[in-house]
Chain A
Amino acid sequence: MKAYLMHRDRDFDVKRDLPPNESDLTRDLELPTLFAAMAVKDELVLEVAKRAILGAASNDVATIRYRQEALKDCLRNPEIVRGLYGLGEESFQRQRKIWPRFREYPSGLLDNSVERMAVFVDVLKKVRGIVDRHGAKFQSEAFSRMFATLARELNDDYFALIDQQLKRLKFRDGVLVSAALGKGLKAVDYVLRRPLKEPGNWLERACQDLSEASQRLFGGNPNSYTLYLAPRDEAGARAMSELRDRGLGLAAGALAKSADHIASFFNHLRTELAFYVGCLNLHERLFELRTPFVFPEVSEADALKVSSRDLYDVCLALTSNKRPVGNDVGADGKNLIIVTGANQGGKTTFLRSLGLAQLMTQSGMFAAAASLEINVVNALFTHFKREEDAAMKSGKFDEELSRMNAIVDNLKFRSRILFNESFAATNEREGSEIARQIVSALLEGSHKVVFVSHQFAFTHGIFETRRDSTLFLRADRLEDGRRTFKLIEGEPLTTSFGEDVYREIFSKTETQVGAASPASVREETQAR
């Protein structure tokens, strides 16, 4: 019995290794904002959202579509999905309350497992109830298959069988164990047995004793002999309970294993639903903000497809509580996007919105755009300049290349790499040459690159040599120097209009009481 809500043919593995660059991705794309919005303080949802999004690049197109359909079901039936998730939670919480006493002894483990089973049966019956009432409302392969499985497996006969087993497993009539004689005539091959006939009450047993005794007295070979524990024989009592434990070991182990399996089923159910609950939470936020979202059209990794309307940075929307400026991009057939232009013109925001769209899409979620067609990649990397390293000027270029080295170590066939003002920690000529060499090699190795750069020698060089396979975007600037934060298509220009920014900041700080830091200014101006 499997949930299989995340993959058609396997469980969602929360233990699976995240890509080695997960911390760079998290930081550069400001993912914690996204995770927090999905989790709404539910730790499991937070964990699953992290795993699903950071590990998204490993999903193939079929898995993405499988989840998109399941998520559409969830958006249609949010309360039912949350209800199921709640039952998983309930089973988990009630489990935790059962005291795990003496689980290292078979008898303790058996009692513990019987108790756990009773909880599971209770919750499973509720699951069955939801399936009966609402199963028909779900159309996706993932949910309809799971509901069908539950309805088939959790039928009334089965519940009756389990109830009977749990009753018998209390062993009111004693434990029957078979054994053979091993080395030194020690008992071996202990096997718990179900008595052929129920042993009956104390009166029958007394009669049995009597017949043993009489047969011993009057000759003949009785078919059983009974050993009685002497009063206050504590060592004997211990030995006897160990003997009992040897018999119970297998049954206790089997029942505990079954309980573990059911716990594992609930755990998977809960884990996999957590992803969809996270999507529901995010959906609610975006709905409040009246920002668009879309289930993207995905194509395979060998395609060159990035085409969107109103592609925006979902994290910026969540932090600013506003609908941010989006971009229209048409980069089909291009393996390189070069972004140039005005400082604080929305270049980094664009880079982030593209990276987020890539990960959200590949995790099976909707993306933050009015429309999006995108090819999947096998890995996504970010190489952003690290401002805090500015102090140690000499080591910065070294650090940049070292990070690049790590990226190259981990590249997978057909990855996408997002560069943000990389290799600028040296003079422009050298930086441009390095950038050119790296980017050329990546492109020729079937990777896709998006590069935000101020380095004219580099960007112009690309324009001269790779014009046909490159999309050039430029941060827009109005004649009076104001930014629109929208990127337009256009070849690289020689200046980045730093003077404009300088002027804007200085004029702003002069007019405002309590000078704001440049960072907060940026946010404010972008949100405008």
Chain B
Amino acid sequence: MSREISPPARAVSDPIGEAIVVQERSPTVGASRAAFRSVLDPPSEREEPGGPSEAPAFFRDLNLDQIVAAIVTGKQEYNLAPFFHRALKTVEAVEYRQAVMRDLEDQSRFDAINEFASGQRVVRDHVAQVTKLHDRHQKLAWSRDAIELYCQSVERLLAALGASPPGSAGLNGFLAYLDAYVASSSFQQLKTDAASIKAKLASIRYTMLIAGSSITVAAYDGAPDYGAEIQADFEKFRQGAAADHIFKFNDFDQMNHIEAGVLERVARLFPEPFAELEAYVSRNAGFLDPVVSRFDREIQFYVAYLAHVRRIGGAGLPFCYPKVSRQSKEESVSQCYDLALARNLLDSNDKVVPNDYFLHGRERIVIVSGPNQGGKTTFARTFGQLHYLAALGCPVPAAGAQLFLFDRLFTHFEKGEDIHNLRGKLHDDLFRMHNALASMTSDSIVILNEVFNSTSLSDAIFLSTQILTRIIALDALCVCVTFIDELAALSDTTVSMASNVKPGDLAQRTFKVTRRPPDGLAYAISVAEKYRLTYGQLTERLNS
């Protein structure tokens, strides 16, 4: 049967780390700075943060792949997807992230992070540029610029975060780290040296006498501005504003060999600042602080998710921070909706239809029946999304949510009607389900969508009953979308919910799934619908 979350990979590829050619220095600073590691996980978390680059198998079934793709769009440089592939296991870890997320809802803090991100991006661009340049002096100059921009970006972030102290342990820990880092004498030296070299280089003025096939480079000796003189001499003919002549020159960062030759001679004329520059850059090759770099990437997990929340929330749909529990399997959710569907409907006039559900006492299994195209599958997906997003420490698409924090999540969705491979498929399905059941615990979540649809009704009833009975025995949480009414009465832990038609117009779906007993029509109709043979469908087909 099912797909599950594979355990997080230990080796996490870090594209930013790779992009930065300059080697990172090792953290050699005091205890206060060493205490902070990650803004994604509390210090107690033993697991190496990051996440598998491969998405869990159920991502497709729950449309989480679409959701994550939408969230990380435009953030490719951070390779955020792995963060979304690892669900948290403890309430503490979830609440650690929820607190950071809440902190970032503050607009000025959110803006500060964005500014820091673009500052760090510019630093990376500079470092990348160094490798592309050929001229020795130019490489040094771009390296120095990178360091200076890095210092500025870090200092600005410290000032912005420090302006209103965050409430979360994650951001507070980072702030304390940053404060100590910026105050350190090595950082201060890094900064002031960069500034003093810049000032010395900027004060250089030289002249080029271009005559015939030679260029003579010399220090500027105060010769007057000839263009200005010409302008003044012809001033009396001025007739209002005449168009300026704008010439286009190619301004590549790369110098041609003539420019490089001139620069080399400037360096000979002014040897000291150039020597200082060289010493400075080689002294500070590993200027990037690893904790800061890691923060730069990790914080984007929150930024990206919050940006998505704003996009969807802008359409009037609610989000909430779920209350999660590892003990209680009682759940209560109001106005939840399919986040992937909500995004796809953003540009259309249609709106998603939110649903409510609850599980009280010993209730564990939701049996969803009712007419097709009535929102059953959407409900099942929503159920899965809510739990998974909650386990990422994110706000969930609902107005209110009390959710169980699962250990593993299994899904089994019917894929198409492959009549040609009926036996092979059934065999395969049962094999996978067996495996899944073997690794399932009482803390797992199972989502079954139209399983065994392609077998005979009696087979389907038998197989479904067998599987569900095992899940019931495990006491796992489960949503089962089915046309088999009988399943709803399997145990006192099952709850029946059904999709609805509009009262008075049986062909019109409301997409609302509500808690009520199955109405008994579901099977015949669902089969007829499957082959598009209902009165309405057939009439429509015959008329087309």
B220–A178 CB distance below 8 A? yes
Neighbouring A residues of B268 by C-beta, 8 Å: 225
Q: Mark A1-18, 1 if CB is under 8 A from B, else 0.
A: 110000000010000000
Q: Which residue of A lies closest to B141 (CB)?
A: A185
Q: Mark A144-162, 1 if CB is under 8 A from B, else 0.
A: 0000000001000010011
Known: A178-B205, A196-B223, A243-B258. A226 touches B214 (CB 8 A): yes
Q: Mark A214-241, 1 if CB is under 8 A from B, else 0.
A: 0000000101111111000001110110
B209–A174 CB distance below 8 A? yes
Q: Is A50 in the interface zone, CB < 8 Å from B?
A: no
B209–A199 CB distance below 8 A? yes
Known: A184-B142, A227-B215. A192 touches B226 (CB 8 A): yes
A196–B230 CB distance below 8 A? no
Listed stretches A258-266, A373-381, A511-519; interface member: A258-266
A226–B231 CB distance below 8 A? no
Q: Would you give the shortest CB distance from B274 to chain A, in whole angstroms?
A: 9
B222–A196 CB distance below 8 A? yes
Q: Is A527 in the interface zone, CB < 8 Å from B?
A: no
* Docked pose: A440 CA to B220 CA in angstroms: 79
Known: A185-B201, A187-B262, A225-B265. A194 touches B223 (CB 8 A): yes
* Docked pose: A194 CA to B266 CA in angstroms: 20
Our pick among B201, B211, B217 for the contact of A224 (Cβ within 8 Å) is B217
Q: Would you give the shortest CB distance from B285 to chain A, in whole angstroms?
A: 18
* Docked pose: A95 CA to B225 CA in angstroms: 29
Q: Is A244 in the interface zone, CB < 8 Å from B?
A: yes
B210–A244 CB distance below 8 A? yes
Q: Is B155 in the interface zone, CB < 8 Å from A?
A: no
Q: Is B79 in the interface zone, CB < 8 Å from A?
A: no
Neighbouring B residues of A208 by C-beta, 8 Å: 216
Q: Would you give the shortest CB distance from A412 to chain B, in whole angstroms?
A: 27
Neighbouring A residues of B265 by C-beta, 8 Å: 225-227
A178–B206 CB distance below 8 A? yes
Q: Mark A192-203, 1 if CB is under 8 A from B, else 0.
A: 111110010000
Q: Mark B215-238, 1 if CB is under 8 A from A, else 0.
A: 111111111111111110110111
Neighbouring B residues of A169 by C-beta, 8 Å: 230
Known: A225-B269, A246-B249. A184 touches B261 (CB 8 A): no
A240–B215 CB distance below 8 A? yes
Neighbouring B residues of A193 by C-beta, 8 Å: 207, 223-226
Q: Is A505 in the interface zone, CB < 8 Å from B?
A: no
Our pick among B135, B201, B247, B253 for the contact of A106 (Cβ within 8 Å) is B247
Q: Mark B259-292, 1 if CB is under 8 A from A, else 0.
A: 1011101101100000000000000000000000
Q: Is B133 in the interface zone, CB < 8 Å from A?
A: yes
B258–A239 CB distance below 8 A? yes
Q: Is B195 in the interface zone, CB < 8 Å from A?
A: no
Known: A193-B226, A199-B209. A184 touches B253 (CB 8 A): yes
A257–B242 CB distance below 8 A? yes
* Docked pose: A246 CA to B237 CA in angstroms: 25
Majority DSSP secondary structure for residues of B touching A:
mixed
* Docked pose: A254 CA to B226 CA in angstroms: 10
Neighbouring B residues of A247 by C-beta, 8 Å: 208, 210
B214–A257 CB distance below 8 A? no
A253–B244 CB distance below 8 A? yes
Q: Is A173 in the interface zone, CB < 8 Å from B?
A: yes
Q: Would you give the shortest CB distance from A8 to chain B, in whole angstroms?
A: 16
Our pick among B135, B211, B247 for the contact of A249 (Cβ within 8 Å) is B247
Q: Is A104 in the interface zone, CB < 8 Å from B?
A: yes
Q: Would you give the shortest CB distance from A180 to chain B, in whole angstroms?
A: 6
Neighbouring B residues of A205 by C-beta, 8 Å: 211
* Docked pose: A63 CA to B217 CA in angstroms: 59
B207–A243 CB distance below 8 A? no
Q: Is B257 in the interface zone, CB < 8 Å from A?
A: yes
Q: Is B373 in the interface zone, CB < 8 Å from A?
A: no
A161–B233 CB distance below 8 A? yes
Neighbouring B residues of A158 by C-beta, 8 Å: 236
Q: Is B256 in the interface zone, CB < 8 Å from A?
A: yes
Known: A178-B223, A191-B227. A224 touches B266 (CB 8 A): no
Q: Is B138 in the interface zone, CB < 8 Å from A?
A: yes
Q: Is B466 in the interface zone, CB < 8 Å from A?
A: no
B211–A174 CB distance below 8 A? yes
Q: Which residue of A lies closest to B231 (CB)?
A: A254
B247–A104 CB distance below 8 A? yes
Our pick among A175, A186, A268 for the contact of B259 (Cβ within 8 Å) is A186
Our pick among B204, B226, B239, B259 for the contact of A243 (Cβ within 8 Å) is B259
Our pick among A11, A153, A223, A229 for the contact of B213 (Cβ within 8 Å) is A229
Q: Is B438 in the interface zone, CB < 8 Å from A?
A: no
Known: A165-B230, A178-B206, A183-B145. A239 touches B259 (CB 8 A): yes
Q: Would you give the shortest CB distance from B281 to chain A, in whole angstroms?
A: 13
Q: Which residue of A lies closest to B243 (CB)?
A: A260
* Docked pose: A254 CA to B209 CA in angstroms: 20
B219–A223 CB distance below 8 A? yes
A181–B227 CB distance below 8 A? no
A258–B209 CB distance below 8 A? no
Q: Is B542 in the interface zone, CB < 8 Å from A?
A: no
* Docked pose: A104 CA to B248 CA in angstroms: 8
* Docked pose: A245 CA to B250 CA in angstroms: 12
A261–B245 CB distance below 8 A? no
A1–B233 CB distance below 8 A? no
A192–B255 CB distance below 8 A? no
Q: Is B102 in the interface zone, CB < 8 Å from A?
A: no
Neighbouring B residues of A252 by C-beta, 8 Å: 245
Q: Would you give the shortest CB distance from B244 to chain A, in whole angstroms?
A: 6
B218–A243 CB distance below 8 A? no
* Docked pose: A253 CA to B141 CA in angstroms: 32
Q: Is A413 in the interface zone, CB < 8 Å from B?
A: no
Known: A178-B223, A251-B227, A254-B231. A224 touches B218 (CB 8 A): yes
B215–A226 CB distance below 8 A? yes
B239–A268 CB distance below 8 A? yes
Q: Would you give the shortest CB distance from B128 to chain A, in whole angstroms?
A: 13
Q: Would you give the shortest CB distance from B176 to chain A, in whole angstroms?
A: 35
Q: Is A407 in the interface zone, CB < 8 Å from B?
A: no
A243–B247 CB distance below 8 A? no
Q: Would you give the shortest CB distance from A467 to chain B, in whole angstroms?
A: 53
B210–A258 CB distance below 8 A? no
Q: Is A289 in the interface zone, CB < 8 Å from B?
A: no
* Docked pose: A195 CA to B218 CA in angstroms: 12
A239–B269 CB distance below 8 A? no
Q: Would you give the shortest CB distance from A2 to chain B, in whole angstroms?
A: 7
Neighbouring A residues of B216 by C-beta, 8 Å: 208, 224-227
Q: Is A105 in the interface zone, CB < 8 Å from B?
A: yes
* Docked pose: A169 CA to B231 CA in angstroms: 13
B263–A185 CB distance below 8 A? yes
Known: A226-B216, A227-B215. A235 touches B225 (CB 8 A): no
A260–B145 CB distance below 8 A? no
Q: Which residue of B lies closest to A186 (CB)?
A: B255
B207–A177 CB distance below 8 A? yes
Taking CB atoms and an 8 Å cut-off, the chain B residues in 353-369 that contact chain A are none
Q: Is A109 in the interface zone, CB < 8 Å from B?
A: yes
Our pick among A174, A186, A194 for the contact of B229 (Cβ within 8 Å) is A194
Q: Would you give the shortest CB distance from A133 to chain B, in whole angstroms?
A: 23
* Docked pose: A250 CA to B244 CA in angstroms: 10
Q: Is A255 in the interface zone, CB < 8 Å from B?
A: yes
What are some 15 contacts across the A-B interface (CB < 8 A)? A11-B240, A176-B208, A185-B201, A186-B138, A194-B229, A224-B216, A226-B217, A227-B217, A229-B214, A229-B258, A236-B256, A242-B249, A261-B234, A264-B239, A265-B237
> 5 smallest A-B Cβ distances: which pairs?
A174-B211, A258-B234, A250-B227, A239-B258, A224-B218
Q: Give A contacts to B, CB under 8 Å.
A: 1-2, 11, 104-106, 109, 153, 158, 161-162, 165, 169, 173-181, 183-187, 191-196, 199, 205, 208, 221, 223-229, 235-237, 239-240, 242-247, 249-258, 260-262, 264-265, 268
Given A194-B229, A240-B213, 13 other A-B contacts at CB below 8 A? Answer: A165-B233, A178-B205, A178-B207, A180-B205, A184-B138, A193-B207, A224-B269, A225-B218, A228-B214, A243-B258, A253-B244, A257-B242, A258-B230
